[in-house]
Amino acid sequence: MKRRTVIMGLAAGSAATLAGTGAALAAPRGLVFDKTAYTTLTTTIDGKAVTYRFWKNIVYVANPVDAAYQSLNVSVPVTIDGKAVDATDAPILFSNSVGGYMPSSVATATGVGGAAMTGATGAGGVASGGNAMLGAGGEMVSNAKLALAAGYVVVEPGARGRTLVTSGGVYYGTAPAAIVDLKAAVRYVRANRGRIPGDVDRIVSSGTSAGGALSALLGASGDSPLYDKYLRTLGAADASDAVFAVAAYCPIADLEHADMAYEWVWGKNKLSTGALVDQTVSRKVAAGFPAYQKSWGITDTESHLLKTYLQPAATRYLASLSASARGAYLAKNTFITWKNGQATFTWANWLTHVGARKKTLPAFDAFDLSTGENNLFGTGTTKARHFTTYGGRTIAADIPAKLDLMNPMHFLREGTTSRARHWWIRVGTNDSDTSPTIVANLAAGLRRLGDDVSALMYWDAGHGANEDAADLMTWIARRK
Ligand code: DHB
């Protein structure tokens, strides 16, 4: 009962033909990148004049369920500030615009970084979907645009999301649709090695929030056979879906452990209404968390977060200020001790400093099935389902496997060999869309496997922060 939309364009003709023949096995003929089908655009990015070739709305699977989402755009720089650029072997920034696990489409974008912002509204009323994030000065930042201006190829995939529903009431974008789509898009790029500009062995997946979690998942689960049947059904290209590197911002990941992590960290912080959540329930939800942390080799989570992330974040921030601005900040925030160029403070004082928790209890698997994540695990005509067994709840038989398909941590436990080996992981210290341990555990799991990890937090920053995008571009250039 899947909806099919009419597919437009050249490649689509053969895709539609193949769609009738059932699952495509090898690289389907319709999935050939047409080098000539671009328009040339000019734009100004970060003060640089950029001329680029723009390929638009390329359906990346032979049997799309909904081509409006299962299509991608490609942007390739030609000149930057009047200087010719050869992007033939440039890294490829694979920039998704997923927010809130909602559908994301690039079909109507008129240029790079123009994905529809269909995401959930994050802290400060800023939509975290689309390609825009928040810089240190509150300005919008787009990794897709900055990558283009750095001379990289930019691929922007759309993907199905949880709210998509047929006229017959069937949900067709719930888990694992989005990750399957992103994998199919990577396969499309790989299958077009030599046709699509850029180095298909240096794909860097970037995303924020739900899109950050999906980026991490894409990186952790490269070439996992667990997705094969879904990819086959879509007629995905027969190529590797492994990516080289990941840039994950405030990933809303590890969903089945996110409630316990959330209560363990934010349990005693009041809601913005001033109310405390039920402390007995909060403590019960959090009960299994220390044992869970141990399974990742973290025995003292408070100290790990303080020493590895929170105090260094405050230190970096304070060091970046002028002496007078630093003095003013410290006078307002007396919980911070500033000594020998280092910031220190206690866990309890930091929690007070952050203030209101964003989410109610439980944060992800709500009792009344009201969260986006409940919808993410919906199926068929059932919009929302439980995915944790808290309080003796039973979960549907298909849920455990779906949780694995959606969780990068599942793959890090297994240490799959085709995972990305280079990781850029960022979150704001004021971001209570999830627990800061989600980022810390992701980084710890990767380091345990010996991967190259740049993980840090942005001091006092909220959901969707991206305060060192220029550094990411340099970091990418240095990874070979
Ligand atoms: C996003 C934010 C959330 O709080 C959440 O639970 C899932 C996704 C987001 O901004 O993408």
Q: What is the pLDDT of residue 121?
A: 39
The string of DSSP codes covering 50-67 is EEEEEEEEEE-BSS-S-T
Q: Is the CB–ligand 1 distance for residue 153 below 6 Å?
A: no
CATH of the domain at 190: 3.40.50.1820
Q: What is the pLDDT of residue 30?
A: 81
The two structure tokens encoding residue 85: 């650029």
Task: Convert the pLDDT of each residue in 384-443 to its tens digit.
Answer: 999 999 988 899 999 999 999 999 999 999 888 899 999 999 999 999 999 999 999 999
Q: What is the pLDDT of residue 257?
A: 98
Note whether 269 and 223 are same-domain residues: no
C-alpha R_g of the chain: 22
* 82-108: average pLDDT: 97
Residue 397 lies in a domain: yes
The pLDDT of residue 452 is above 50: yes
Note whether 359 and 238 are same-domain residues: no
Task: Convert the pLDDT of each residue in 286-317 to its tens digit.
Answer: 999 999 999 999 999 999 999 999 999 999 99
User: Where does residue 196 rank: exposed (0-12), middle (13-18), buried (19+ CB within 10 A)?
Assistant: buried
294 touches 287 (CB < 8 A): no
The two structure tokens encoding residue 34: 């047409």
Residue 132: give the domain boundaries. Answer: 39-253+467-478
Number of Cβ within 10 Å of residue 273's Cβ equals 8
Q: What is the pLDDT of residue 22?
A: 39
Q: What is the pLDDT of residue 29?
A: 61
The pLDDT of residue 342 is above 70: yes
Q: Cα-flanking dihedrals φ and ψ of residue 386, to 5°?
A: -75, 150
The rounded Å distance from CA 439 to ligand 1 centre is 14
Phi-psi region of 424 (alpha: psi -120 to 50; beta: other; left: phi over 0): beta
| Ligand 1 atom nearest residue 433's Cα | 4
Q: What share of the chain is helix, strand, coil (3-state, %, to 5)?
A: 35, 20, 45
- Domain end call among 387, 406, 425: 406
Residue 30 lies in a domain: no
Q: What is the pLDDT of residue 14?
A: 36
Note whether 266 and 243 are same-domain residues: no
Percent of the chain with pLDDT over 90: 86
Note whether 159 and 188 are same-domain residues: yes
The rounded Å distance from CA 210 to ligand 1 centre is 6
Q: Is the CB–ligand 1 distance for residue 119 below 6 Å?
A: yes
Note whether 97 and 116 are same-domain residues: yes
* 91-107: average pLDDT: 96
Note whether 105 and 238 are same-domain residues: yes
Note whether 93 and 207 are same-domain residues: yes
Q: Is the CB–ligand 1 distance for residue 213 below 6 Å?
A: no
The rounded Å distance from CA 402 to ligand 1 centre is 18
Question: What are the C-alpha distances in Å from 193 to residues 7, 26, 198, 202, 356?
Answer: 24, 15, 8, 11, 49
Candidates 151, 428, 434; CA nearest to 314 is 428
Question: What are the C-alpha distances in Å from 73 to residues 39, 148, 336?
Answer: 12, 13, 46
Q: How far is CA 47 from the centre of its chain?
A: 27
Q: Is the CB–ligand 1 distance for residue 285 below 6 Å?
A: no
Distance CA(22)–CA(62), nearest Å, equals: 10
Residue 417 lies in a domain: no
User: What three-state secondary structure class fits 151?
Assistant: coil
The two structure tokens encoding residue 472: 């990411």
Q: Whose CA is nearest to atom 1 of ligand 1?
A: 100
Q: What is the pLDDT of residue 415?
A: 85
Note whether 272 and 246 are same-domain residues: no
Candidates 282, 316, 309, 346; CA nearest to 444 is 309
User: What residues contact 422, with CB distance under 8 A and at least 6 apart?
Assistant: 204, 244, 245, 246, 451, 452, 479
Q: Is the CB–ligand 1 distance for residue 100 below 6 Å?
A: yes
For residue 28, name the pLDDT band (cuts at 50, 70, 90).
Answer: low
The two structure tokens encoding residue 425: 């992981």
Question: What are the C-alpha distances in Å from 128 to residues 99, 121, 173, 312, 377?
Answer: 6, 6, 19, 25, 21
What is the domain count for the chain?
A: 2
Q: Is the CB–ligand 1 distance for residue 122 below 6 Å?
A: yes
Of residues 401 and 19, the one with the higher pLDDT is 401
Task: Convert the pLDDT of each residue in 61-78 to its tens digit.
Answer: 999 999 999 999 999 999
Note whether 356 and 399 are same-domain residues: yes
The string of DSSP codes covering 382-440 is B-----S-GGG----TTHHHHHHHH-HHHHHHHT-TTS-SEEEEEEETT--SS-THHHH
Single-letter residue type at 306: L
Note whether 222 and 75 are same-domain residues: yes
Candidates 254, 250, 249; CA nearest to 406 is 254
Task: Convert the pLDDT of each residue in 107-161 to its tens digit.
Answer: 999 999 977 543 333 333 334 445 668 888 888 899 999 999 999 999 999 999 9
Distance CA(169)–CA(429), nearest Å, equals: 40
Residue 172 lies in a domain: yes
Q: Is the CB–ligand 1 distance for residue 372 below 6 Å?
A: yes
Q: Which residue has the tokens 């085709």?
A: 418
Note whether 94 and 226 are same-domain residues: yes
Q: Which of 101, 121, 209, 364 to mutate to test the pocket of ligand 1 (most atoms within 8 A of CB)?
A: 209
- Domain end call among 406, 424, 448: 406
Note whether 127 and 238 are same-domain residues: yes
Its pTM stands at 0.92
Residue 246 lies in a domain: yes
Residue 443 lies in a domain: no
Residue 441 lies in a domain: no
Number of Cβ within 10 Å of residue 230's Cβ equals 17
User: What residues contact 167, with CB distance under 8 A and at least 6 apart?
Assistant: 3
- Domain end call among 391, 406, 421: 406
Task: Convert the pLDDT of each residue in 223-249 to its tens digit.
Answer: 999 999 999 999 999 999 999 999 999
The rounded Å distance from CA 76 to ligand 1 centre is 30
Q: What is the pLDDT of residue 5?
A: 35
Element (DSSP H or E) covering residue 212:
helix 210-220
User: What residues contact 195, with CB distance under 8 A and at least 6 apart?
Assistant: 32, 33, 35
Residue 325 lies in a domain: yes
